[in-house]
Chain A
Amino acid sequence: MEIKGEYRIEAPREKVFAALNDQDILKACIPGCESLEKLSDTEMTAKVRLRIGPVSAAFGGKVTLSDIDPPNGYKISGEGQGGVAGFAKGGAVVRLTEDGGVTILAYDVDAQVGGKIAQVGARLITGTAKKLADQFFGKFAEKVGAPPPTPVEAA
């Protein structure tokens, strides 16, 4: 399974890269994130509750940042155990390119699930992963790309 997408963010690349490493921003953007705790600059533990159709599962797991290449991008990975529900593991390679004053964020997601959640949800995994990726990057683009306040004209 391969999920790719692109967002245009109205902010310079350095600012976007910094936001990708800001744990408060990550917490606000990870769908269903109930808590995110810092272990080091590149490792966090997270609690996530997802509700998709009739399924509602709480996952506890680890979020890791790797292949860090400022300000061009990095890889963000998550790995979680949902108890009897099964496990989910996924990562996104994020690339930032400059286009005038704005930044193009391109992502490439790869996800695996196992256990019962995979048994019942096989036909829905790609759709679900795509939806979650869009929620994450959509919210991120919105938060980081918020247009600066209109400059006040000097009287």
Chain B
Amino acid sequence: MYDFAYHHPKTLAEALAALKDKPEARPVSGGMTLIPTLKMRLSKPSDLVDLNGIKELTGIKVEGNGVTIGGMTRHADVASSADVKKTIPALAQLAALIGDPAVRNRGTIGGSVANADPAADYPAAVVALDATITTTEGKHKADDFFKGLFETALKDGELITAVSFPKPEKAGYEKFRNPASRYAMVGVFVAKTAGGVRVAVTGAGPSVFRVKAMEDALSKNFSSDAIKDIKIPADGLNSDIHGSAEYRAHLVTVMARRAVDQANK
């Protein structure tokens, strides 16, 4: 690691002050992605602002018609939350499928959503459930938040404070895991929401995306058979040692059908 100044703020205001006007300062939450990058010297921040001591960033609240999860909330706490299991069981299941126990006990929803890894699970839930991302600068709609490979609408020094998920009528998530990392080769979140059916795919492309053809078919008939003949083009999908773009395109339909079956259970 290179040298950096370490800050351990107790409040959001202190964290923002520590980040202000320092383009090379970085916040750290679970550190599951950032710390290995530092250890490998692939990043050289001037300052690390540790969000772990900020109480206002943790916790899960059932509010109005959904649940709001604080940015520093660990994957393990979402997976085991009675409130999440009751309101949006598919979201608790998604959190339980992330990585291994060490990653689930450290990694946070804010860190995952801010990082926008193309194979991360949460972005699929955020987009399919039409969640709202609350930051220190305001609120972002899910559809406008993920901009591309590791790219979000966040500005330098802007922190995710919470993610609010409206309760869907039904929802299901299925992923084909990479057996080593457990990241999604392809993950599909399907939700029947107040605003219609939404299908969001992660792992397959540079960033999470929706599949309109499946949404239309499922709006008419919410059954896995309704989408069995819908194939998505392999053009522009990820291709690496784990699988070709064609393979990933095929997996999208398979995972989407399983997610619909899961939602209908």
Contact = CB atoms under 8 A, between A and B. Distances in A.
A101 B106 CA distance: 58
Interface in B25-52: 26, 33-34, 36-37, 40-45
Nearest to B24: A56
Contact of B40 (A116, A130, A131): A116
Nearest to A121: B42
Contacts of B84: none
Given A122-B240, A123-B119, A123-B242, A54 B37 contact: yes
B240 to A, nearest CB: 5
Most chain A C-beta atoms within 10 Å of own C-beta, residue among B41, B42, B240, B241? B42
B41 A131 contact: no
Interface string B224-253: 000000000000001111100000000000
B182 to A, nearest CB: 13
A126 B115 contact: no
Contact of A120 (B40, B149, B242): B40
Interface string A121-148: 0111111101100000000000000000
A56 B149 contact: no
A85 interface: yes
Interface residues of A, number: 22
Nearest to A82: B42
Nearest to B185: A123
A10 B238 CA distance: 31
A85 B41 contact: yes
Interface in B105-119: 115-119
Interface in A9-37: none
Nearest to B237: A127
Contacts of B43: 54-57
27 contacts: A52-B149, A52-B150, A53-B149, A53-B150, A54-B33, A54-B37, A54-B42, A56-B45, A57-B43, A84-B40, A85-B42, A116-B40, A117-B42, A120-B36, A120-B40, A120-B42, A122-B241, A123-B119, A124-B118, A126-B239, A126-B240, A127-B118, A127-B206, A127-B238, A128-B149, A130-B206, A131-B148
Contacts of B44: 56
A55 B119 CA distance: 16
Interface of A: 52-57, 83-85, 116-117, 119-120, 122-128, 130-131
B206 A131 contact: yes
Contacts of B150: 52-53
A69 B61 CA distance: 65
Contacts of A131: 148-149, 206
A17 B201 CA distance: 40
A48 to B, nearest CB: 15
Contacts of B149: 52-53, 124, 127-128, 131
A90 B169 CA distance: 49
